[in-house]
Amino acid sequence: MARRKKPRFLLALETSCDETSAAVLERGRILSNIILSQDEIHSPYGGVVPELASRQHIKTIDYVVAMSLSQAGVSLEDIDLFAVTQGPGLIGSLLVGLTFAKGLAYYFHKPLIGVDHLQAHIEAAFLENPQIEYPVLALLVSGGHTSLYFLEKPLSYQLLGKTRDDAAGECLDKVAKFLQLGYPGGPVIERLARGGDSSRFHFSLPRMKTAGYDFSFSGLKTAALKIIRENRLTANHQLLRDFLASFEETVARALLENVHKALEEFRPAALVLCGGVARNTRLRTRFSELAAGCGLPSFVPSPRLCTDNAGMVGALAWKKYLAAPVTAADLELDAYPR
Ligand code: KG4
Ligand code: ZN
C-alpha cells in the first residue's frame, strides 16, 4: 500500500475582522504572509462596519490567496493542508474565509483545520520563539478581546479572565474616534502620545468588585471622555500629547496589574504578550519591565505578527495537525462569532 505523503505546504486564511490575509507555510515556517487591511474603508466611520468588512473580504480574498501562493513560489496543487479562522470574530467576515477554505479543501481532497483566532494570536509568539518554556501566562490585547490565559502545556488554554465590557483596543479606538483622530485609534494615539508627559493627567484604575482576573475598560473610557470635554481637548490642543500619554500609560497599567496578580498564583516559566495592541511600544516596554522585575523571560511577537494575519493561523494549524493528524476535510466546520 502506498504510504501517505508527509504534508509540507499549508495555506492559511484569516478573515475574522477587517484584514483579509493568506499565508503559505512550509513545515510550520512562514513562506508568505499577505495582509490586506481595510482601514481606509472603515476609517470614515471611526470603527469597523461589519457589512462593509464582509463585502470587502469577498472582493479581495482570491487576490490575497493568489499573492500568497506566488510569493511563496507554490501553486494550489502543492498545498497539503488548508487552515482557516473559525472564530471569534464578525460572523459575515468569518464565513467568507471559512467558505473559501472549505471550497479549496473539498476540491483538492485535502484536510481542513479550523483555528481559534485568540489562540492563533498567542501562537504568533511561539512562531518566532519555539523555545518558550511552559507553563506560560499569556496576555492577549486586541480590538475585540482582552484576555489572560494560562498554558500549562502546548495547545492547552485556560482562560483566567477577560474584559467585562470594552476591549483595551476598543477603548483606544473609541477615544480616538471621539477626538476625530481616525481609525484604528491605537497607532494614532501612540504616534501623538510620543514625547507627552504621562504624569500630566490622572486616571484611577478600574477596580473589580469580585476576585479573579477579569478586566474592565469602559470606566476608563468614560473618564477619558470626561477629561476631553472638561479641557476642551481637540486634535490640535497643546495638552493633547500629555493627555494621550497619560491615557496610554493608564491602559498599560490596568492590563499589567492583572498579569502581576496572576504571577503569584500560577507561577509561569514565561510571559507572552500578543494581539494588535501589543504593537504599542509603551505597553511592550512596561511588559518587559514587569517580566524582568520578576526574573521571567517575556516574549512579544514582532509588530506585523501582533495584528491580524494568516501566518499565526497557519502556525497554530500546523501545531494542531502534528498533535492530531487529520486526513479529510471536515466540511461541517462552522464559524462562531463569540
Ligand atoms: O488583533 P487586531 O489586529 O484585531 C482584533 O483581533 O481585534 O487588533 C486591532 C487593535 C485595534 O484596536 C488597534 O487600535 C490596536 O489593535 N492597535 C494598537 C496599535 N496598533 C494597533 N494599539 C496601540 N498601539 C498600537 N501601535
Ligand atoms: Zn485579532
Q: Which atom of ligand 1 is nearest to the CA of 306?
A: 1
CATH of the domain at 97: 3.30.420.40
Same domain, 164 and 255: yes
Q: Is 222 within a domain?
A: yes
Query: Which amino acid is located at 313 in the chain?
Result: V
Pocket mutation for ligand 1, best pick of 307, 312, 313 (most atoms within 8 Å of C-beta) = 307
DSSP string, 255-268: HHHHHHHHHHHH--
C-alpha closest to that of 166 among 125, 226, 206: 206
Q: Which of 194-208, 211-225, 280-294 has the highest mean pLDDT?
A: 280-294
302 in a domain, yes or no?
no
Instruction: Tell me, yes or no, whether 197 lies in a domain.
Output: yes
- Say if 262 falls within a structural domain: yes
Verify that 234 and 105 share a domain, yes or no. no
Residues of the chain above pLDDT 70, percent: 99
Q: CA–CA separation, 256 vs 167, rounded Å?
A: 14
Where in the sequence is the domain holding 117, given as residue range(s)? 9-121+308-323
Tens digit of each residue's pLDDT (9 = 90 or more) over 275-298: 999 999 999 999 999 999 999 999
Spatial distance between the Cα atoms of 9 and 19, rounded to a whole number of angstroms: 23
C-alpha cell at 296: 521571567
Q: Looking at the structure, do residues 148 and 64 belong to the same domain, yes or no?
A: no
Dihedral, CA of residue 75, residue 78, residue 83 and residue 89, to nearest 10: 0
The residue whose CA has the least distance to atom 10 of ligand 1 is: 143
Considering the domain architecture, whether residues 138 and 113 belong to the same structural domain is answered as no
Residue 1: pLDDT band by 50, 70, 90 thresholds?
very low
113-125 pLDDT per residue, tens: 999 999 999 999 9
Q: For residues 283 and 191, state if they share a domain.
A: yes
In a domain, 35, yes or no: yes
Does residue 337 lie within any of the structural domains? no
Nearest-Å Rg of the Cα atoms of the chain is 20
**Residue 138 and residue 121 in contact, taking contact as beta carbons nearer than 8 Å:** no
232 and 259 inside one domain? yes
- Tell whether 154 and 234 lie within a shared domain: yes
Judge if 182 and 220 occupy the same domain: yes
Q: How much of the chain, in percent, has pLDDT values that exceed 90? A: 90
Tell the residue number behind the cell numbers 490565559, with chain if given.
Answer: 149
Regarding whether 287 and 160 lie in a shared domain, the answer is yes
Grid cell, residue 227, equals: 477629561
Q: What is the predicted pLDDT for the residue at 3?
A: 57
Kindly tell me if the per-residue pLDDT of 111 is higher than 90: yes
What was the pLDDT predicted at 257? 94
pLDDT at 235: 87
What is the residue-wise DSSP string for 20-76? EEEEEEETTEEEEEEEEE-HHHHGGGTS--HHHHHHHHHHHHHHHHHHHHHHHT--G
**In the predicted model, is pLDDT for residue 264 greater than 90?**
yes
Query: Considering only CA atoms, which residue is closest to atom 23 of ligand 1?
Result: 186
Residue pair 13/61 in contact by the 8 Å Cβ criterion: yes
Same domain, 116 and 221: no
Q: Which atom of ligand 1 sits closest to the CA of residue 184?
A: 14
Residues 114 and 155 in one domain: no
Q: Using CA positions, which residue lies closest to atom 2 of ligand 1?
A: 276
Quote the cell numbers at residue 23: 499565508
Burial of 317 (0-12, 13-18, 19+ CB in 10 A): buried
Name the domain count of the chain: 2
Query: What CA–CA distance (Å, rounded) separates 153 from 162?
Result: 21
Residue 27 counted as domain residue: yes
Ligand 1: which residue has its CA nearest to atom 3?
Answer: 307
The grid coordinates of residue 106 equal 473539498
pLDDT tens string 167-196: 999 999 999 999 999 999 999 999 999 999
78 with 211, same domain: the answer is no
Mean pLDDT for the stretch of residues 242-269: 97
Nearest Cα neighbor of 83 from 301, 325, 315 is: 315
Separation of CA 44 and ligand 1 centre (Å):
17
Ligand 2 center from residue 140 Cα (angstroms) = 9
Name 291's Cβ contacts closer than 8 Å, sequence gap at least 6.
Answer: 271, 297, 298
In a domain, 127, yes or no: no
What pLDDT digit, counting tens, does each position of 14-61 carry?
Answer: 999 999 999 999 999 999 999 999 999 998 988 899 999 999 999 999
